[in-house]
Amino acid sequence: MPNTPRIIILFFVIISVSVALCSGCGNGKSRVLAKVNGKAITVKDFDSRLSKMPAYYKAIASQRKKDFLEDMINEQLLYREALKRGLNRDKDVKELIEEARSKIIVAKLLENESKKTVVSEERIEEFYQEHKDDFVTPLKMRASHIMVDTEEEAREVQKKLNEGADFAQLAKEYSKDPSKDRGGDIGYFVKGQLMPQIEEVCLKLDVGQTSDIIRTKFGYHIIRLTEKVEPRAVDLSEVRDAIKKELMDQAQQAGMEELIKNLRSKAHIRINEKLLEGSVQ
């Protein structure tokens, strides 16, 4: 495995929540992958550690399991060496561990609270109806164009088009735009993605119709509208998951704010504002 991915994977191994060297402390019947100075690393340990990694690095580690196991072995060796040197008694380390412990416990509390959140199908349907105007696809168009440097060239191309020449072939022969390799096709676009001048022209064209010569700061253009997809209402089935996530997020945020509000109402909190102002640099 290249050095950089190995280092990154080792980093995530070390900062994993289960870093407290509990290898072998799970299911005693789990098969042993390796032993380090008598301490077992089991299949369960391996899979558990792997599952805690971010998706991208999990994919890398899953493909290179031997390297991931070596990183777990290295972690144990480094941890034992740190203990031998008494770093677990270091003041800064103790403070960091306590801070991490606090954050982990708070994170677990919030996770438990979030599990209480339920969004009903009725609420999803209600939200959809309330925001139905927002669930509409925009007008989508597709066009091809030929761009040249001078009006004289544009007139020449226009003349050939009027005589029945193939638009795509002329684009390949004359156009200065990279789209010439695709016969001038610039693909699908919605309002706001192209220059306003070109969009305005496309909006006035019927499918299959070709524009007059248009001048922009890039040159002279001839445009042909090849497709137009009208706006449509998006069905609830297409956005149900997105709506549910939005409502879950809102409910969880409201729940957390309510929890904090309740806790603060029962707590005795006193802030020395003057000292605070003086301590902030």
**Every domain of the chain and the residues it spans:** 3-104, 140-229
In one letter, which amino acid is 62? S
| DSSP letter, residue 134 | G
140-229 maps to which CATH number?
Answer: 3.10.50.40
Q: What is the pLDDT of residue 274?
A: 85
Q: What is the pLDDT of residue 272?
A: 85
In one letter, which amino acid is 76? Q
Cβ atoms < 10 Å from Cβ of 101:
10
Longest dimension (CA), the chain: 89
CA–CA distance from 281 to each of 72, 146, 270, 276, 277 (Å)? 42, 60, 21, 10, 8
- Percent composition of the chain: helix, strand, coil (DSSP 3-state, to 5): 60, 15, 30
35 has which bridge partners?
40
Q: What is the pLDDT of residue 279?
A: 63
- Please check whether residue 145 is in contact with residue 224, taking contact to mean a CB–CB distance below 8 angstroms: yes
- Please check whether residue 21 is in contact with residue 27, taking contact to mean a CB–CB distance below 8 angstroms: no
105's tokens:
């416990």
pLDDT in single tens digits along all 281 residues of the chain: 444 444 444 444 444 434 433 444 444 447 998 989 988 888 898 888 888 888 888 888 888 988 888 988 999 999 999 999 999 999 999 999 999 999 999 999 998 998 888 999 999 999 999 999 999 999 999 999 999 999 999 999 999 999 999 999 999 999 999 999 999 999 999 999 999 999 999 999 999 999 999 999 999 999 999 999 999 999 999 999 999 999 999 999 999 999 999 999 999 988 888 888 876 55
Distance, CA of 96 to CA of 100 (rounded, Å) = 6
